[in-house]
A and B are shown apart, each in its own frame.
Chain A
Amino acid sequence: MPKVTVDGIEVEVPAGATVLQACEAAGKEIPRFCYHERLSIAGNCRMCLVEVSPGPPKPQASCALPAADNQVIRTDTQMVRHAREGVMEFLLINHPLDCPICDQGGECDLQDQSVAYGKGHSRYDENKRAVTEKYMGPIVKTVMTRCIHCTRCVRFAEEVAGVESIGAIYRGENMQITSYLEQAVNSELSGNVVDLCPVGALTSKPYAFEARPWELSKTPGIDVMDAVGTNIRIDVRGRQVMRVLPRINDDVNEEWAHDKTRHHIDGLMERRLDRPWVRRDGKLQSATWAEAFEAIRAVNAGSSVAAIAGDLVDCETMFAAKTLVNALGSTMLEGRQTGLSYDVSSLSAVNFNTTIARVEEADVILLIGTNLRWEASLINTRVRKAVWRRRAKVFAIGQEVDLTYRAEWLGNDAALIAKLPKTVTDAFAKAERPMVIVGGGALAVTGAQAAAQALVKTLNLVRDDWNGFNVVHMAAARMGSLMLGYAQSGGIADITAAAPKLAFFLGADEVDFANFDKSFKVFVGHHGDKGAHAADVILPAVAWPEKAGTYVNTEGRVQVAERAAFAPGDAREDWSIFRALADVLGVNVGFDSFDACRASMIAAVPALGREGEIADYGWSLPKGGTAKPSGPIPSPVKDFYLTNAIARASATMQRCSAELLHGETFEEAAE
């Protein structure tokens, strides 16, 4: 634990800390461009110069200098000020003065640090360098003349995204950052380089010239595109969600978000359901709320009612629907739209027990039927970290995909789960932190769940302070729906067998609606997708940024999102729709406001009231018996960019899908 003095303040820093970190510990701001907490140290921007003694009598780059005992560090001397001014002046030599037309303007490190540490004028009269734009794919827009060569994007692509396709070619003044042969960066995390870029060289293509940061109102939210529960900030101007950025949460998403999280939002403006619709003579016709409610009342369903929850809904919505269905005398609730029917008698057995953050500690990992890169991109980056930093060994059963790290593919046969090859069992026998991740694909295979649960014992996955048995879900609503009892023992098949007279679909678009042909289908959702097409009555509800809500991620972490925007037209918040329906159907749900709805939900399931905490499911495994799964494991995610109704409505996601997954090429508009 070296003790150093920074500007007269004595601080103790952990061994291995850098001088820059020591300065931060002492509360000193050190300007920097290339240094980033989550990337390796490059030390090439030279902005973080400080004076260190003992040491050479010249400014030193603090980001790459280890802190040593009894160092005296000065960050406020004339030498340091001069050095920073000099570096700043050099950086600005080739940086264009195009801030007024630059999308980074207002949130630009170079702008801010130039004001704080720069000279205020330039002595450079020569011609500036100009660099041609590089194509980096449908998400990242480049203006490479602005690049200051910090190489953050290069390091991110290599270290975090695991897609080594960004690099610096040529040398000296001619150095250019580019993707390999200017091909699109084929990573689901490419949008993060936009946040990392300290200048306006890499900006967001879909967001180009859309808004200025100071026009946006910023609301904390939770991402619903997958079950990781990425913490996000929703930037809204007027009624429109302009962009989504990740918030820092080291337990969940660190500070990353994948491209679907960031860029599905243009889908929020398309195909919206903004008024009720009622099917008359086989055709959906626009109606008033009163007419829609009357049509539902006329079904006279009695207690033959069911509710199917979609993948994007929050717990309050599901609770409101559940309360209504229960009040009507039914318990037909299901959240696993696609027909999965895995055993949920113990929630801990279908939970991501290791927790997302501790994935990094694992040393031997077995992936069962999961394309982690698509099902939970930000868990995949953690696994990659375990491989990269701790040399973790990864085995995988399932369809072979590129996971960005080396995995030993054992084959795509569910029988392997019950009969692991000796190399795998040997590796697990020596493991200190063994981990198994079961994906949605495996859960679809009969017996695979039980066989995977049997591994807990055979591979010794659960030890003191470590639980290596994990199930990774893909739906943001999944863990919440299971906590609220949205599960029949036979899955959705139980409900179709019961053929309810009235069925509510809460934004559920992936259901096989043909099985519900005897039911009066009420779609409560926000997008005109498959669910709305099949519905008899459409009640327009709000999409995720337009409501506050509680979400539970795949590790059981309860997180609360705030409302950021307003829904179009006649759309109403989901809870209020079910409250109004209760009156129409003559029952009482016991709440008259969103807060009351949330309060009664927390009263029913207390864990949902503990924000930020991981719900305690206890640890137990259902009695699985001896299962012998067999056959190929299907891949549940067919197209990463088009997994839900909002993404399918998004032009950006359609383009990503067409270009990155299906190899279509797009002509760039000449500028």
Chain B
Amino acid sequence: MADVAFPDEAETRARWGNFAWTAENAAQATKIIARYPAGRQRSAIMPLLDLAQRQVGAETQTQGWLPVPVIEYVAAQLDMPFIRALEVATFYTMYNMAPVARYHVQVCGTTPCMLRGSDDVMAACKNKGLIKGKTTPDGLFTLTEVECMGNCSSAPMVQINDDNYEDLDYDRTVAILDALAAGETPKPGTQEPGRHTVEPLGGPTTLKEMVSGNHDYRGDW
């Protein structure tokens, strides 16, 4: 991230200088701010930045990002110095500091996913024309490699927009990307047939009696 410069300032200012909440988001922002005690309104910076990013996304038909004037707008609403808001926005990876595509493909590359084949997932993305840190020319996909997203028991996984796709391999990844490109909505969650969430593959191996009801194991000890 460090070498990613903020996008051209004059241009961004011209485009986003007049950013303001939509009526709906303005109400939502007020609601969010009200969650925090008086004098601690600055704590609302994170949900508000997220809200702003989503509004930018809605306006640009993408996953949204945080142009500097938008960060300033949010900071001004919370009466906090711009640099403090910028610190937050640049610290967390889920705030995009540069525009992303309609589908933000975030491939987990941390150890459990890597052991379970995240290299194949990356290869599938690459063969579909996605380049790490870049947006495809058709504006559909932005690829990012991220650290652990907490789906280790159904690794490997990608997060695309707000949904997780788990238990991937090369073909399943290609299928998901194709479906998204065709405008369909693939089923989020595990892609393993017969698996619902993150239950063990091939049925439970321990605590089997618990499947049917609440079993008291204390007598077995």
Contacts and interface: CB of A to CB of B under 8 A. Distances in A.
Nearest to B83: A167
Contacts of B84: 164, 167
Contacts of B68: 181
A113 to B, nearest CB: 27
17 contacts: A131-B2, A164-B84, A165-B82, A167-B83, A168-B87, A169-B87, A169-B90, A169-B91, A170-B1, A170-B91, A171-B91, A173-B2, A174-B1, A174-B2, A180-B81, A181-B9, A181-B86
A180 B6 CA distance: 12
B2 A181 contact: no
A166 interface: yes
A180 B81 CA distance: 9
Contacts of B86: 167, 169, 180-181
B81 A164 contact: yes
Question: Of residues A169, A173, A174, A181, which shows the largest number of chain B Cβ atoms within 10 Å of its Cβ?
Answer: A169
Contacts of B90: 169-171
A104 interface: no
A7 to B, nearest CB: 39
Contacts of B2: 131, 170, 173-174, 176
Contacts, number: 36
A180 B87 CA distance: 10
A176 B6 CA distance: 14
Contacts of B82: 165, 180
Interface in A140-196: 164-171, 173-174, 176, 179-181
Contacts of B9: 181
A183 to B, nearest CB: 10
B202 to A, nearest CB: 39
Interface in A463-503: none
A164 B75 CA distance: 13
Interface of B: 1-2, 6, 9, 68, 81-84, 86-87, 90-91
Contacts of B1: 170, 174
Contacts of B87: 167-169
From DSSP, what is the main secondary structure of chain A's interface residues? mixed
Nearest to A169: B90
A165 B86 CA distance: 10
Nearest to A178: B83
B91 A166 contact: no
- The range of chain A's interface size is 10 to 19
Given A165-B83, A171-B90, 20 more contacts: A166-B83, A167-B84, A167-B86, A167-B87, A168-B87, A169-B86, A169-B87, A169-B91, A170-B2, A170-B90, A170-B91, A173-B2, A176-B2, A179-B83, A180-B81, A180-B82, A180-B83, A180-B86, A181-B6, A181-B9
Nearest to A173: B2
B111 to A, nearest CB: 18
A179 B82 CA distance: 10
Nearest to A158: B81
B136 to A, nearest CB: 25
Kindly list the 7 A-B residue pairs having the minimum CB-CB distance in the complex, ordered from nearest. A164-B81, A174-B2, A167-B83, A169-B90, A180-B83, A167-B87, A171-B91
Contacts of B91: 169-171
A131 B81 CA distance: 24
A168 B6 CA distance: 15
A511 to B, nearest CB: 43
Question: Of residues B1, B83, B84, B87, which shows the largest number of chain A Cβ atoms within 10 Å of its Cβ?
Answer: B83
Contacts of A170: 1-2, 90-91
A336 B105 CA distance: 71
Nearest to A131: B2
A169 to B, nearest CB: 4
Nearest to A157: B83
B82 to A, nearest CB: 5
A167 B75 CA distance: 14
A634 to B, nearest CB: 31
A176 B82 CA distance: 16
A170 B5 CA distance: 12
Nearest to A181: B68
Contacts of A167: 83-84, 86-87
Contacts of A131: 2
A185 B198 CA distance: 52
A165 B6 contact: no
A191 B81 CA distance: 21
A338 B68 CA distance: 46
A571 to B, nearest CB: 47
A167 B85 CA distance: 10
Contacts of A165: 81-83
A164 B83 CA distance: 7
A99 to B, nearest CB: 24
A512 B68 CA distance: 49
Interface in A399-415: none
A291 B84 CA distance: 65
Nearest to B87: A167
Question: Of residues A165, A167, A168, A179, which shows the largest number of chain B Cβ atoms within 10 Å of its Cβ?
Answer: A167
Nearest to B86: A169
A131 to B, nearest CB: 7
A170 B92 CA distance: 8
Nearest to B93: A171
Contacts of A164: 81, 83-84
A168 B2 CA distance: 12
A173 B3 CA distance: 12
Nearest to A179: B83
A165 B6 CA distance: 17
A182 B6 CA distance: 11
Contacts of A179: 83
A492 B81 CA distance: 46
Contacts of A169: 86-87, 90-91
Contacts of B6: 181
A42 to B, nearest CB: 14
Question: Of residues A131, A164, A179, which shows the largest number of chain B Cβ atoms within 10 Å of its Cβ?
Answer: A164
